[in-house]
Amino acid sequence: MQIVSLPKYVIGQDAFDAIPSICLNFGKNLQIVGGKTGLASSINALKKSLKNSEINLMEPIWYGGECTDENIELLTKEIGDNGANIIAGLGGGKAIDTAKAVGDKLGLPVITIPTIASTCAGTSGLSVVYDKNHKFTRFIHFDAPPICSFINSQIIAEAPAEYFRAGMGDTLAKFYECSFAARGDSLNYTNGLGKTISHMCADPLFEHGRKALKDCEENKITPSLEQIIQAIIVNTGMVSILVDEDYNGAVAHSLFYGLTILPHIEEKYLHGDVVAYGILVQLVIDKKLDEAMKVRNFLKDIGCPTTLKDIEVKLDREYLSNVLIETVNGPDMKKIPYKIDENMVFDALSQIEKM
């Protein structure tokens, strides 16, 4: 038996107005788990939308600054007996992932309120868990995605544009990684559907991405901006739900998790920016050099890293030794069309530096 639950979402400047009609099916007490910046940017709009409704907006709780097992356990205990009927994950990907994990442990429905467009956390059925040193540890997979994601395009348009840019990098990777990992396989209907719609993680970006980033920098809501918001938050989430775990990542994400061994990567660079660079590495390993140049030009135009120098990493085999080991042995490399070793990754890094 296969059960597929696709995410529901609401997008627009008035997206929060839809919260009562959806949440009252589950109860009145709404507990927000969120980030400090996200709360500051959205709490007034939330209060205004919920003012004359039956929803009781409980005192928001900070998610702890990282999606760790420790923070998930602490929040589970804190919320467990406070009367909450619904958990709302609010903010960026780590805040939302923490809230989803807490809701799953408590058996409570979860809604999401992304305040930046940087990942698919708002619609995906998983959480990415790190340790207290910001090193990736594991994924938590859920039976279903959040019941609804409320995407306020005004709040996202006013958020720092670097998150929007990084979101495009992460979204673009979904297409290239899914296509690469699934190559040569005879796919069932659901996987085939996911792979097909992964094109929507790339085509709108090449068409609208440059303009959408400019609109975000100017805090303007435009059709181009909302196209890319939906590609980042919605389409990537749908692909991750539809395709098997094996097809959800490949070289770009595995390299990112390898690079997090270097402390400054997580401290100074956004996930999507580093993943975007990883797309180039995958394409060069795969000898898709024309496509690599197309992607490189797009990434340069929007300000994503296109060299190791851009992320303050030395092209030195010994310095990168543990990064290379982690990259080729990461969980995202379990299902790829051919074996990739450390030499192939390092050679691709070297070739990209000469582009």
The answer as to whether 236 is a domain residue is no
Residues ≥6 apart with Cβ < 8 Å to 338: none
106 & 146 share domain: yes
Whether the per-residue pLDDT at 217 is higher than 90: the answer is yes
47 & 193 share domain: no
Average pLDDT, the chain: 96
The answer as to whether 20 is a domain residue is yes
Residues ≥6 apart with Cβ < 8 Å to 225: 153, 156, 157, 212, 215, 216
Confidence at 266, pLDDT banded by 50, 70, 90: confident
In percent, how much of the chain has pLDDT > 90? 93
196 & 263 share domain: yes
Residue 9 CA neighbour count, 13 Å, CB half: 27
Domain boundary among 105, 123, 158: 158
The CATH number covering residue 146 comes to 3.40.50.1970
184 & 75 share domain: no
CB 234 within 8 A of CB 270: no
CA distance 60 to 32: 5
122 & 254 share domain: no
Which one, of 303, 254, 294, 310, lies nearest residue 278 by Cα? 254
Confidence at 138, pLDDT banded by 50, 70, 90: confident
Q: What pLDDT, on the 0 to 100 scale, is given for residue 137?
A: 86
CB 292 within 8 A of CB 284: yes
Stretch 18-38: mean pLDDT: 96
121 & 168 share domain: no
The answer as to whether 262 is a domain residue is yes
Q: What pLDDT, on the 0 to 100 scale, is given for residue 23?
A: 96
195 & 308 share domain: yes
Tokens matching residue 223: 């059709």
| Residue found under tokens 């990112």 | 256
CA distance 35 to 238: 24
Q: What pLDDT, on the 0 to 100 scale, is given for residue 283?
A: 98
* 10 backbone φψ class: left, alpha, beta (φ>0; ψ -120 to 50): beta
* Full-model pTM: 0.92
In percent, how much of the chain has pLDDT > 70? 100
The CATH number covering residue 174 comes to 1.20.1090.10
150 & 172 share domain: no
18 & 144 share domain: yes
Domain boundary among 158, 189, 208: 158
Tokens matching residue 340: 């990739």
Q: Where are the beta strands (DSSP E) in the chain?
A: 9-12, 29-34, 56-57, 61-62, 86-91, 110-114, 126-130, 136-141, 148-152
Residues of the domain holding 313? 161-220+243-353
The answer as to whether 226 is a domain residue is no
Q: What is the pLDDT of residues 272-328, one digit of tens each?
A: 999 999 999 999 999 999 999 999 999 999 999 999 999 999 999 999 999 999 999
Stretch 67-84: mean pLDDT: 96
Confidence at 201, pLDDT banded by 50, 70, 90: very high
Domain boundary among 138, 158, 178: 158
167 & 119 share domain: no
Backbone angles phi, psi at 55, to 5 degrees: -75, 130
Whether the per-residue pLDDT at 355 is higher than 90: the answer is no
Question: How far is Cα of residue 161 from the mean position of the Cα atoms in its chain?
Answer: 16
Structural domains counted in the chain: 2
* Among the ranges given (73-77, 97-101, 129-133, 174-178), the one the predictor scored with the smallest mean pLDDT: 129-133
Better pLDDT: 223 or 139: 223
The answer as to whether 148 is a domain residue is yes
Stretch 170-178: mean pLDDT: 97
CA distance 183 to 73: 39
Q: What is the pLDDT of residues 48-58, one digit of tens each?
A: 999 999 999 99
121 & 190 share domain: no
